Structure 1
Amino acid sequence: MIELDAAQLSRVRFAVSPLWEVGLAALVLRRPDPGALFRRWAEQSRRRVDASALDRMIALTAGHDFVPDIFSAMPGSEQPDISEAPAHLRALPDELLDRDLARLDRAHQGRSRWIQSLMEDHARARGEIADVVAEFWHGAIAPHWEAFRRLARADIARHAINAADGGQGAMLDGIHPGVVWTGSALDILGACETSFGPTPAEDGVLLTPSAFAWPHVHVMSNAPFQPAIAYGVRGFGTLWETEGADAPSPAVERLVGSRRARVAAAIATPATTTELAHALGIAPATVSEHLRTLTDARLASALRDGRSVMYTLTDLGRRVLFAETF
């Protein structure tokens, strides 16, 4: 439970955390079966990531739900970049690094020689963890990152509308079925704790939409970091449905036009007209025209989600846009 007074409640904010996504993604790969929603991504990642880096990345998690605080949400902008991760790791207090590595060593029952070597040399630990993160990011997360960021922006906008309509409490109630606003505190049911103890939420709580948190809510509430909650972003299951979703073939571009093909490729992940215009740098009226054409041709469909209309490719649209042969 995270208690919030009125001032703390007013400081609740959203931000995407690339480094926490790395840890949560590795946690998914720890599972003997990642589940239907993650199976395709897991297969792709095991092919793309160097085996040694993959083993080390998984070693940096433990059990069913432990992601060390070294992967805590990075403070700063709403959309920090993974390039900030090395600086974040270099700035970690020695006592925090010691604590996390010691817990990992206990969880692995002293069988990970790599973890034990990191415990002996902090400089080496920071450098090697940064290298493993970079390799894992490149193969497992980077191919889906732009699509995820669009989902995250849409998710944050949706919650902002809920806050405007019903207040911060109503918004918090809609984050995840396991997050309940009691009127004075966030009651988090079945949370996967990544901390050692409670931290006063003096600066509010950081809410981080995640592609890999589902079905859990992950809570980081350990000093010196701002308490944070990672929850499954709405629509994350669409992120790895289609390989090469941002690159329609030249033949399709000649058939429908390059700009319309770009709009079609972008809605491989559901999006609104406004999101598409922002992501593609195209005027909203032009995006709307392309979407009408794609919908009339049954290559796209429109679904109302509250006040928003989300567009996505139909099965026919996916076959036309992404099939190599016909």
Structure 2
Amino acid sequence: MLRVHFTAEDLARVRVAAGPDPMWEILLSLHVLRQRSATPVFGAWRAAAKATLPDDTRWLMQLAPPVGYSPDFLTPTAGSCAVDAGIDAVLSTPVESLRADLEQLDCPRLDPRTHLLADGDVATLDSLGDALRGYYSHALAPIWDEVRAVVDADRAVRARSFLDNGCEGMLSALHPTISWSSPVLSIESRFPLRDVRLRGQGLVLVPSYFCWERPIMLRDPRRAPVLVYPIARDLHVGGAGRRSLEALLGRTRAAALEVIAGGCTTSELARRLGISAASASAHASVLRDAGLAVAQRHRNSVLHTASALGVSLLA
């Protein structure tokens, strides 16, 4: 059992990450590659990914075992960021943190590079960066639009949950393994009881595509508190579901609804879809007139979000 203790200040500082975190998705997808129990959910992705995995993936798998502890330094960010920025953050880890994290790895036969990594060897750190970039390019980049779309849809669900039930209601509805009894959030875990006291730091909630069994947190209490939780699988928009949505709305407008589900301005929508601001505004207007989206002026821009009907259509 994992118990997270909140103060009133912590509840006021809860936020949902702005998008998928590539470093967490790298780590958790490495777990999924070796978890047979994940086959019903990720079987097709695993088959495609394993066909093109770079050689250095074996080293990454050793650093990220599917059961037990994975080094906290591999996931230094908390939310939407570019993969290069995330990898740079990994490579900027202080030597003492590298060593402390790697000493906790439960692996009898470590790759020689891991010992060099624990000493902060520059060439080995560069190799780790190359391995992470290569893995992301082959395994995650081809599906990243889908990852981002379902995380955006999940964010829309959390926003509506917060508006309807407040922060405590949103927290208790994150996942079936979670329960809330003020001021403690309890999470079922296969590991021994651990208490995490936020002490006014707040909590970043990170919806994850590849976190699929139960929510997880970093072990190191010195790092900023992060709770990574599985997206609702019924929000998965892929395969036949995506084709049906595109057939109904058209490819660009279906993509626009997925982006809007996470909340965006007109310029952000245009940038994500690679279209002009005028075209983005037109697509948003059609979705709004159809009752699938809502627009609200915020300062000097218009913020678009999905309506309840829009979220249901995505699901």
What interval of TM-score do these two structures reach, taking the shorter chain for normalisation?
0.7 to 0.9
The alignment status of 1:54 with 2:53, answered yes or no, reads no
Equivalent of 2:39, from 23, 35, 42? 35
User: Where does 1:290-305 land on structure 2 (aligned, <5 Å)?
Assistant: none
Partner residue of 1:17? 21
Equivalent residue letter for 2:88:
A
The worse-fitting range, judged by mean Cα deviation, of 277-286 and 209-218 is: 277-286
Cα gap change, 1:197/1:109 in structure 2, threshold over 3 Å: closer, same or farther? farther
Whole-angstrom CA distance in 1 between matches of 2:12 and 2:127: 39
Whole-angstrom CA distance in 2 between matches of 1:6 and 1:31: 38
Aligned partners of 2:4 and 2:195 also within 8 Å: no
Secondary structure class of the residue paired with 1:103: coil
List gaps (5 residues or longer) in structure 2. Answer: 274-279, 293-305
Equivalent residue letter for 1:9:
L
Aligned partners of 1:27 and 1:67 also within 8 Å: no
Cα gap change, 1:119/1:275 in structure 2, threshold over 3 Å: closer, same or farther? closer
Report the alpha carbon displacement of residue 274 of structure 1 after superposing the two structures with TM. 7.6
Secondary structure class of the residue paired with 1:231: strand
Deviation string 1:193-242 (CA, Å, 9 cap, x unpaired) is 9xx98464431111100011111211114233211111111237846637
Q: TM-score, normalising length from structure 2?
A: 0.76
Aligned partners of 1:192 and 1:219 also within 8 Å: no
Report the alpha carbon displacement of residue 34 of structure 1 after superposing the two structures with TM. 3.1
RMSD: 3.6
Cα gap change, 1:220/1:274 in structure 2, threshold over 3 Å: closer, same or farther? closer
Secondary structure class of the residue paired with 1:226: coil
Deviation string 1:52-78 (CA, Å, 9 cap, x unpaired) is 122122111125243320122515xx5
Aligned length: 284
Report the alpha carbon displacement of residue 287 of structure 1 after superposing the two structures with TM. 4.3
Cα gap change, 1:122/1:282 in structure 2, threshold over 3 Å: closer, same or farther? same
Whole-angstrom CA distance in 2 between matches of 1:25 and 1:213: 8
Partner residue of 2:144? 145
The alignment status of 1:260 with 2:266, answered yes or no, reads no
Whole-angstrom CA distance in 1 between matches of 2:44 and 2:230: 17
Q: How many percent of aligned residue pairs carry the same amino acid?
A: 20
Aligned partners of 2:150 and 2:235 also within 8 Å: no
Cα gap change, 1:273/1:218 in structure 2, threshold over 3 Å: closer, same or farther? closer
User: Where does 1:170-319 land on structure 2 (aligned, <5 Å)?
Assistant: 170-190=169-189, 198=196, 200-235=198-233, 238=236, 241=239, 260-263=250-253, 278=269, 280=273, 281-283=280-282, 284-287=284-287, 308-311=310-313
List gaps (5 residues or longer) in structure 1. Answer: 293-303, 314-326
Report the alpha carbon displacement of residue 120 of structure 1 after superposing the two structures with TM. 4.2
Whole-angstrom CA distance in 2 between matches of 1:286 and 1:136: 39
The worse-fitting range, judged by mean Cα deviation, of 66-75 and 203-212 is: 66-75
Equivalent residue letter for 1:35:
T
Report the alpha carbon displacement of residue 124 of structure 1 after superposing the two structures with TM. 3.2
User: Where does 1:9-158 land on structure 2 (aligned, <5 Å)?
Assistant: 9-15=11-17, 16-32=20-36, 34-50=38-54, 52-75=55-78, 79-104=80-105, 107-158=106-157
Report the alpha carbon displacement of residue 40 of structure 1 after superposing the two structures with TM. 0.7
Equivalent residue letter for 1:108:
C
Deviation string 1:90-112 (CA, Å, 9 cap, x unpaired) is 331222110222222xx221343
Aligned partners of 2:75 and 2:90 also within 8 Å: no
Aligned partners of 1:26 and 1:58 also within 8 Å: yes
Report the alpha carbon displacement of residue 168 of structure 1 after superposing the two structures with TM. 0.7
Secondary structure class of the residue paired with 2:81: coil
Whole-angstrom CA distance in 1 between matches of 2:58 and 2:51: 13
Cα gap change, 1:202/1:312 in structure 2, threshold over 3 Å: closer, same or farther? closer
